[in-house]
Amino acid sequence: MRITRYHDLMAEFENPIEHTCNMQLGQSFIVDRCTKPEEMCDSAWETLLPFIKELTQGGGNFFDGWMKNPYSAMLSCNDGFRPVSFYIEVID
């Protein structure tokens, strides 16, 4: 849904690194049986997985009505310098 970069925070706090996230705006994934898509960042997957598990087991309605679609969630990976926001939802 969105990829953000906080260049000021990177410059102030982050050590130079050669490789960061490969996620690209517009990518989509279909998850079956809670198996991580090959192209998905491990860190993002760890953030999304608890919500994906709940949705695959028929759950939803996170945080008492947070989302208009109770079988969805808007989540971001835990990279504070370049967070990627994901919209996850149940599809038939």
CA 27 – CA 1 distance, rounded (Å): 9
φ/ψ bin of 7: left (φ > 0), alpha (ψ from -120 to 50), beta (otherwise): alpha
| 6 neighbors 81 (Cβ within 8 angstroms) | yes
Average pLDDT over residues 55-68: 94
Q: Could you give the residue ranges of the DSSP H alpha helices within 1-92?
A: 7-13, 42-56
pTM of the model: 0.85
Task: Summarize pLDDT for 21-42 with one digit per residue, the tens.
Answer: 888 899 999 998 899 999 888 8
